[in-house]
Chain A
Amino acid sequence: MANNASFHMPLVPARPGEAPDFSYVRLSPAGAVRKPPIDVPVPYTADLAEELVRVLDDRHQAVGPWDPGLAPAELQRGLRYMLLTRIFDDRMQRTQRQGRITFYVRSFGEEAVSVAAGMALAADDMLFPSYRNQGLFIARDMPLVEMMCQLLSNSRDMCRGRQLPVMYHSKARRIFSISGNLATQFPQAVGWAMASAIKGEPHIASSWLGEGSTAEADFHHALLFAKVYRAPVILNVVNNQWAISTFQGFAGGEQKSFAARGPGAGIAGIRVDGNDFLAVHAVMSWAAARAREGHGPTLVEHVTYRAGAHSTSDDPSRYRPKDDYEHWPLGDPVMRLKQHLVALGAWSEDQHIALTAELEAHVAAQWKEAVSYGTLQQGPSLDPALMFDDVYKERTPRLEKQAQQLHEERAIHMRNKAGAP
């Protein structure tokens, strides 16, 4: 009997010291992928799930059937949100390095994924983000100072000091609470969408996770429930190639796209250039219309690259080439939209410099305001007794007792600190 089965480890294209290699990324020319009607039957999305929807070509022109035809003012708004996201990220990363906040996660290189989606979806649609979707909050005009107060766990922290930095939420902007546990938001988004359909409401839900998190059971539950109940939901896999140090091949990305899990599970699948603002906008609009018109859910794979570290606790130079991102074939989403606007004659280098300066000043001013509400180290601070609230709607007698105990502990601690006997 033949025994040729050998143990396979997914290949990682390049490690530190090696030349970056992105030959594994399957590309389609801009404008080449067909755009089917929103009621396309699931099996006829199989090719879309393996191709790559792109709108911007190498000459910075919008081409092909997926061109969303956005007015220059709308494109400028997109550029503004993406640039703001990047400047906010850079500034917050620096404050973490200065020890003002404990932890941060940038979305560097992935700004289009969130910003274009945030602009393409309706204001009443419900978003279930992951921790690298700050662009959704920014595209829904969340004041940065509110996000900064969360990062600082200060007296105005929306989470009352309970969540790790970046785990925002906003009921007013219809953005769900971010979990630190991966993929849990996926079936929740489907349940939200099921409820919308049960109630006969026109609102859809959308959720995001990284390609690494597709390995979690919750990803599969979400696809299954979305398929079974034809839930009006868009499920997004942000394939940024890396889950901390784990290459996407270890999540099953070798030889098969993540979008293909959609048709495999019985829902539409589509793979899009995640660094192409126009393509993401067009695909999200298409999937939203499909969901809203009752044609069912869509799994969207956004092909992008995590240009920075996973978080401030990570050092990617230990597991991938330092110059990897410079060779990434899909470029930089901010620069690509900028160049498109320039090519349209709707933007200039001077305008870009002025916008950058304006947004940097805005972020600095928001930060100044945020720290006036306290930092982790300096007041004004939250009352620690708040930790006993919101465990339940009402404090239980046991929690009341513990709050009293903490109060006494702190009184002793303060006395000791003050040097009293």
Chain B
Amino acid sequence: MNDVSDAAKQTGIEQMNVKQMNMVQALNSAMNIAMERDPRVVVLGEDVGYFGGVFRVTEGLQKKYGTHRVIDTPIAEGGIVGASIGMAANGLRPVAEIQFADYIYPAYDQIVSELARLRYRSAGEFPAPVTVRTPCGGGIRGGQTHSQSPEVLFAHVCGIKVVMPSTPYDAKGLLLASIEDDDPVIFFEPKRIYNGPFDGDPDKPAIGWNAHPGGQVPEGYYTVPIGKANVVRQGAALSIVTYGTMVHVCLAAASDLGLDAEVVDVRSIAPLDIDTLATSVSKTGRCLIVHEATGFAGFGAELSASIQEECFWDLEAPILRVAGWDTPYPHAFEWDYFPGKTRVKLALEKLMRAA
């Protein structure tokens, strides 16, 4: 596993104090640092100010930076993103929170028709450097309105970047990179792993980030570059290409089967680091793609097609996909919907059996 000391060396931060953080604390630290370093950074969203956010991600920021920089908003996602665009046009760096990814659709027009295309349609005169943070994913008994993973709806939109971290370390570094980025970024936070890595078994006692190297987070400033995938586990037998919560489920599934799997965390959905993915699949000759969102026309379809274009002659088996079913996320049958270890393991076995 690519532990924090490797990452630290890459970014020259070995001298920095490292602290154990969960993903909520890491995201909070990123915003705290961004606001401290750059007076243009403002945070806005529902419940983000006085209360500190329903997931506590913005806790303490309003107290520290004031109500003019950490702004509680009405329940109007289209207004939040629309106003953020105007703020960005006037020189601020808004970090907007959409409380659940399931609530992002009222803002979809502002994101797709405006945020994503302003730089383009104004030939660079009016870029809109807005970061939209939003918790996604299921496994928290959220039912079909608090569990969705709509990343593919944004991956398809030219002009925005789309990222999803799988560890506190990546979450902080990617969020700082997103806020600094001169292009808009949709930042998906897999909320099932806010408090600890999750191997897909809801019956096991929850574990925190303290035992995981990705929970060792420098207290100061660093970035994780957008557009770079991360090989989280080296292996030779096959490649598992995944992101978000499913990174941890896949690691557990491969380990249960004793498979020498290489696990690649996509991290940056758009732009996509196809080189890292293709290098891995060309090496192993087998590829399983795993995501939590519905499979049909999911981001796995793009991954599969892109990897196939690059790696066809190195493939020893058809590329397989594991995903959520083509249904809404049902409350009572959450763990039947979730692409847990059993589904991943069955696919891995099938992939290893194939020619």
Contacts and interface: CB of A to CB of B under 8 A. Distances in A.
Contacts of B82: 184, 186-188, 190-191, 218, 221-222, 225
Main secondary structure of the interface of B (DSSP, over half): mixed
Interface string B170-184: 000000000000110
Contacts of B73: 225, 228
Contact of A392 (B71, B159, B275): B159
A191 B85 contact: yes
A158 B125 CA distance: 9
Interface stretch (B106-114, B207-215, B247-255): B106-114
A402 B210 CA distance: 44
Interface residues of B, number: 46
Contact of B86 (A162, A205, A391): A205
A192 B74 contact: no
Interface residues of A, number: 47
B126 A177 contact: yes
A336 B126 CA distance: 37
A184 B73 CA distance: 18
B161 A392 contact: yes
Interface string B50-70: 000000000000000000110
B271 A390 contact: no
Nearest to A197: B68
- Point out which of A169, A220, A221, A224 has the most chain B C-beta atoms below 10 A from its C-beta: A221
A176 interface: yes
A228 to B, nearest CB: 6
Contacts of A218: 78-79, 82, 109-110
Interface in A204-223: 205, 217-218, 220-222
Contacts of B87: 191-192, 194-195, 198
Contacts of B33: none
A195 B90 contact: yes
B90 A222 contact: no
B119 to A, nearest CB: 5
A81 B322 CA distance: 63
Nearest to A177: B122
B119 A393 contact: yes
B275 to A, nearest CB: 8
A228 B83 CA distance: 12
Contact of A189 (B86, B118, B123): B86
A160 interface: yes
A184 B109 contact: yes
Given A199-B91, A221-B79, A392-B159, A190 B125 contact: no
Which 4 A-B pairs rank lowest in CB-CB distance, beginning with the nearest? A191-B86, A187-B82, A221-B79, A191-B83
25 contacts: A158-B123, A159-B121, A167-B121, A169-B121, A181-B113, A184-B109, A187-B78, A187-B79, A187-B82, A187-B110, A191-B82, A191-B83, A191-B88, A195-B91, A198-B87, A199-B92, A217-B78, A218-B79, A222-B82, A225-B76, A228-B74, A389-B124, A392-B119, A393-B182, A398-B274
